[in-house]
A = this chain, B = another copy of it.
Amino acid sequence: MRDAYHEELDLLTDKLVQMTSLVRSAISRATTALLDADLQLAESVISRDEEVNAVFADIESSIFDLMARQQPVAVDLRMVITALRMGTDLERMGDLAVHVAKVARLRHPESAIPPEIRSTILEMGQIAENIVTKAGSCVASRDVDSALELEQDDDAMDRLHRRLFRNILSKEWPHGVEPAIDITLIGRYYERYADHAVRVAADVVYLVTGSRPS
């Protein structure tokens, strides 16, 4: 009985790792869709968000089941509680990738990203991918040290976010208000995406140590 129970808890971890992998792929495709004005890729991000939501629904019902049938205590209880929180954050990351993809779709066949901003957006996309990949590893390994390192990737994202604003606000910005609005929102989506990944990692720290990083 105890064994089946721990298998169920492990399965919860597997599903969370699967979510990190789905939302990594989503932000990767969304970034490419944005930079290449690739409508088909944008549509794939939007339609495949259902997969992320389905895994989360699955996690939620497993948790409900587990709690109703078992009485998880100590680290097992922390596992189910943090799994709920992590799942909520990961689901939101999927939504944010969809938001990015929707801007790409809205501006197609144009690109929403003017040339002088492309490298910043590319870097934001890469950091988003790195940070969620690391978050996934942390969830799988429960490695507190690597979980704490994610803060640094998030700092890098914040620096890029500020660079983006400097670009839009520079006197030389020739593109007017509409692209500035697009880029403001896109920047916000990437920044929030990274924030949620940091929260997932913080939950790994909580899971292992019983207290959250400050």
Residues of A that sit less than 8 Å from B by CB: 63-64, 67-68, 71-74, 77-78, 81, 84-85, 88, 165, 168-169, 173, 176-178, 180-181, 184-185, 188
Contacts and interface: CB of A to CB of B under 8 A. Distances in A.
A81 B67 CA distance: 10
B188 A178 contact: no
Given A84-B84, A181-B168, A181-B181, A68 B73 contact: yes
Contact of A67 (B67, B85, B169, B177): B67
A84 to B, nearest CB: 6
Given A177-B168, A184-B184, A188-B185, A81 B68 contact: no
Contacts of A77: 64, 67-68
Contacts of A88: 85, 88
Given A68-B77, A84-B84, A180-B181, 13 more contacts: A63-B81, A64-B77, A67-B67, A67-B72, A67-B81, A71-B71, A88-B88, A168-B177, A169-B177, A173-B177, A176-B177, A177-B177, A184-B184
A68 B72 CA distance: 7
A42 to B, nearest CB: 20
